[in-house]
Chain A
């Protein structure tokens, strides 16, 4: 038997791979993915389909409850259409969430890979930096930064990213530290590859699973954080809507016009829960031990 000439098994495509199969078998994660797709579609297409823009004021229809005329989700105290504002707010909130996730994942991955691969004093310094950031109450840090700087969507994104990259860094560092000892990394060194090449081209692709999981969960946290800052008035500034500052105006009318709080609240809950479901689903799907359940 010349095993070398044995026929190759059929090529496995990633969407038919085991990870994907396990993810698709997870109902909750699928539900989360579907909800996010719907939410994004609604935010992208929705404002174009409605007769009102988020800023047009209809003074005759202030405090209109949902389903009055073509105000499907009612109006706010200024007579602005809640549906139009919700979708516009969704664009901003989701964009801030995604952008903050991207930024914090990039920072966290970079620091985690370098700390994990180099080890020694470089690793120690970097990881103590992570500890330092972690030991800061992040919500106060965010509020302090937000109060000191001129609030804008960009600034909010940077501030949120600056306080949420540490988790990614920790996950990546542990992963890289164990991958570093594998023989294929030794083989890379034997071939004379540079440290940067080994870190980012050989090791990083093998750590992508945990990074994706952490990134998904970071989106959820970033959306919550943005809502929180905006609710307190340090975030996205009116008249630009965000889910957080829509809530800010709503609390005064909780008794008389509850939809003002319930609708953006529900949007936040759905988005955050969905991202968490997706994250959990991905974590289970990437976990090889899940096979023996």
Chain B
């Protein structure tokens, strides 16, 4: 299959891959990381490679850069960089690869913090690229780096030159990475999920920046993502990968409009789209608030007050809201907005500094740990990271029953209830005696949900419960939560950075910014008629609005 875009524009491919097969070490779940893939990246285009985790998209990128781990070998195929008289990357000597990397092709990574050296100033790190390729004199290099920092729209480039990475925000770090990748004006830029770790507003800016630079420099970009929203935003053409194979490729607009492969259709359908509609209430219950939060605040202090080096971070400031029985309140905000701190305050994993949390009329903020213990079963939490939140040394059965047993439920009854719950969250009873590492991320999140439901809680706090999952799994988990709420009448506080997800599941949404709730209302108000300027900014930044 050749991309159909080729006929429209007779451009030469900047990067061409033919029949590439990369083997996985023995004993992995499949034999090939990628199998017989063929595609071209045309000059001046953005090609998106889309797929779920484990589909082989990052392996493809690393193969092109010659950055594969030693245990993974290329067994067949060819990679040609820069047209017919460019470089063949497979089998090239380490010296050739080094000279090509950064100069002809460069890469930006998902996590800009771990990709930057924490002990080196930003300017020095970019200069390093120039020095490694012996370009320019010292003065010229410095000038060039400042030019680059200006180019990626970093504020005050002169000052930025001397900053350490930890002083920068996530978006700024990613801009530095981009500046570094652009230092030698490569023909091809490979971007491996560069915006996945970023907030929506920052993501929108970075996507805009990449697009912009591509236009100015005439580069080609290979953009790896799992999010079809991003594809809709920037791609010229698109390749869909599943389990190491290309299942569909073509012009972005066409693939998005009429996907031919069922896997593509499923991925596109799974993208949570913004519904400006309010959710139909599960039942007409009397609007009696189960939880009332009044003037809640929490301030983190670190360092020493005596030495005057104290850092004071007001994480949650004067927050008010209430939530009725079997309703869902979404708390939306960017990272650092205090939404996770708020969640931890509600389940009392942390103590607040001020305000009241009225749960069924009783102020739980004032209770001590031991006074609150009998109430814990009523307020449960679903955690963000399905890998870290289950004890790796406990079986699923132990994980589910340990809480109820500690609160006095007979062991036999707990086992029976746990097995029933496993069926309810869509796992078979055989899971009971297995260990967490035997399950996929989505399955583990189901186990986490089952654990929270063991107590038949009145209130569930879900802290970014679907953020670590692939979009298709995300949709399943959201559906499960919705179904559970309809069956059990539990109230939910759904904390997320993703407005699209919030719009799917929430009755009410509270937007948090810098520790305060700046706007509160039903989804229809938040998305169609936002009152605060910050909400407006957030809504505008959502990728793939065209994708409805």
Residues of chain A at the chain B interface (Cβ within 8 Å): 1-6, 8-9, 11-12, 182-184, 186-194, 197, 201-202, 205-206, 208, 292
Chain B contacts of A3 at CB under 8 A? 440, 442-443, 473, 476
Chain A contacts of B241 at CB under 8 A? none
Q: How far is the CB of A79 from chain B (nearest CB, A)?
A: 56
Given the complex of chains A and B, what is the CA–CA distance between A193 and B380 in angstroms? 13
Known: A190-B349, A191-B403, A193-B403. A2 touches B476 (CB 8 A): yes
Q: How far is the CB of A110 from chain B (nearest CB, A)?
A: 19
B212 CB–A CB distance under 8 Å: no
B99 CB–A CB distance under 8 Å: no
Given the complex of chains A and B, what is the CA–CA distance between A282 and B420 in angstroms? 40
Chain A contacts of B425 at CB under 8 A? 4
Known: A192-B376, A202-B391, A206-B392. A4 touches B476 (CB 8 A): yes
B536 CB–A CB distance under 8 Å: no
Mostly helix, strand, loop or mixed at chain A's interface? helix
Chain A contacts of B383 at CB under 8 A? 183, 186-187
Does B392 lie within 8 Å of A191, measured CB to CB?
no
Does A5 lie within 8 Å of B438, measured CB to CB?
no
Does A187 lie within 8 Å of B376, measured CB to CB?
no
Query: Residue-by-residue, is B371-396 near A (CB-CB < 8 Å gives 1, otherwise 0)?
Result: 00110110011011100111111100
Considering the complex, give the chain A residue whose CB is closest to the CB of B242.
A1
Does B403 lie within 8 Å of A192, measured CB to CB?
yes
Contact of B430 among A8, A205, A292 (CB under 8 A): A8
Given the complex of chains A and B, what is the CA–CA distance between A189 and B381 in angstroms? 10
Q: Could you show 20 A-B contacts with beta carbons less than 8 Å apart?
A: A5-B426, A8-B430, A8-B434, A8-B439, A183-B384, A183-B385, A186-B349, A187-B381, A187-B383, A187-B389, A188-B402, A190-B349, A191-B403, A191-B406, A192-B377, A197-B402, A197-B406, A202-B391, A205-B393, A205-B394
Query: Residue-by-residue, is B388-419 near A (CB-CB < 8 Å gives 1, otherwise 0)?
Result: 11111110000000110011000000000000
Does B472 lie within 8 Å of A1, measured CB to CB?
yes
B88 CB–A CB distance under 8 Å: no
Does B442 lie within 8 Å of A4, measured CB to CB?
yes
Known: A186-B383, A202-B391. A5 touches B403 (CB 8 A): no
Chain A contacts of B391 at CB under 8 A? 184, 188, 202, 205-206
B325 CB–A CB distance under 8 Å: no
Chain B contacts of A5 at CB under 8 A? 426, 428
Chain B contacts of A8 at CB under 8 A? 430-431, 434, 438-439
Considering the complex, give the chain A residue whose CB is closest to the CB of B262.
A1
Chain A contacts of B266 at CB under 8 A? 1
Considering the complex, give the chain B residue whose CB is closest to the CB of A191.
B403
Known: A4-B427, A4-B476, A190-B376. A184 touches B390 (CB 8 A): yes
Chain A contacts of B427 at CB under 8 A? 4
B226 CB–A CB distance under 8 Å: no
Does B434 lie within 8 Å of A191, measured CB to CB?
no
Does B380 lie within 8 Å of A190, measured CB to CB?
yes
Chain A contacts of B430 at CB under 8 A? 8
Known: A183-B384, A189-B349. A2 touches B394 (CB 8 A): no
Chain A contacts of B455 at CB under 8 A? 191
B47 CB–A CB distance under 8 Å: no
Chain B contacts of A205 at CB under 8 A? 391, 393-394
Number of contacts between A and B (CB, 8 Å)? 89
Does A2 lie within 8 Å of B431, measured CB to CB?
no
Does B381 lie within 8 Å of A190, measured CB to CB?
yes
Does B402 lie within 8 Å of A191, measured CB to CB?
yes
Chain A contacts of B373 at CB under 8 A? 192
Considering the complex, give the chain B residue whose CB is closest to the CB of A181.
B388
Considering the complex, give the chain A residue whose CB is closest to the CB of B344.
A186
Q: How far is the CB of B430 from chain A (nearest CB, A)?
A: 6
Contacts beyond the supplied A9-B438, A192-B406, A206-B393: 14 A-B pairs with Cβ under 8 Å: A1-B472, A3-B476, A8-B431, A9-B29, A182-B388, A184-B390, A189-B349, A191-B376, A191-B380, A191-B451, A192-B373, A192-B374, A202-B394, A205-B391
B122 CB–A CB distance under 8 Å: no
Considering the complex, give the chain A residue whose CB is closest to the CB of B426.
A4
Chain A contacts of B69 at CB under 8 A? 292
Chain B contacts of A189 at CB under 8 A? 349
Given the complex of chains A and B, what is the CA–CA distance between A292 and B347 in angstroms? 40
Considering the complex, give the chain A residue whose CB is closest to the CB of B439.
A8
Does A184 lie within 8 Å of B407, measured CB to CB?
no
Chain A contacts of B472 at CB under 8 A? 1
Considering the complex, give the chain B residue whose CB is closest to the CB of A12.
B438
B173 CB–A CB distance under 8 Å: no
Given the complex of chains A and B, what is the CA–CA distance between A6 and B434 in angstroms? 14
B513 CB–A CB distance under 8 Å: no
Q: How far is the CB of A55 from chain B (nearest CB, A)?
A: 49
Considering the complex, give the chain B residue whose CB is closest to the CB of A193.
B406
Given the complex of chains A and B, what is the CA–CA distance between A225 and B374 in angstroms? 51
Query: Residue-by-residue, is B197-213 near A (CB-CB < 8 Å gives 1, otherwise 0)?
Result: 00000000000000000
Chain B contacts of A192 at CB under 8 A? 373-374, 376-377, 403, 406-407
Q: How far is the CB of A183 from chain B (nearest CB, A)?
A: 4
Considering the complex, give the chain A residue whose CB is closest to the CB of B427.
A4
B446 CB–A CB distance under 8 Å: yes
Given the complex of chains A and B, what is the CA–CA distance between A188 and B473 in angstroms? 25
Q: Which of A2, A11, A190 has the most CB of B within 10 A?
A: A190
Considering the complex, give the chain A residue whose CB is closest to the CB of B472.
A1
Known: A184-B388, A192-B376. A2 touches B426 (CB 8 A): yes
Considering the complex, give the chain B residue whose CB is closest to the CB of A185.
B391
Chain B contacts of A4 at CB under 8 A? 425-427, 442-443, 446, 476
Considering the complex, give the chain A residue whose CB is closest to the CB of B387.
A183
Given the complex of chains A and B, what is the CA–CA distance between A49 and B473 in angstroms? 67
Chain A contacts of B374 at CB under 8 A? 192
Chain A contacts of B448 at CB under 8 A? 187
Chain A contacts of B476 at CB under 8 A? 2-4
Considering the complex, give the chain B residue whose CB is closest to the CB of A291.
B71
Given the complex of chains A and B, what is the CA–CA distance between A188 and B448 in angstroms? 12
Q: How far is the CB of B344 from chain A (nearest CB, A)?
A: 8
Considering the complex, give the chain B residue whose CB is closest to the CB of A207.
B393
Chain B contacts of A292 at CB under 8 A? 69
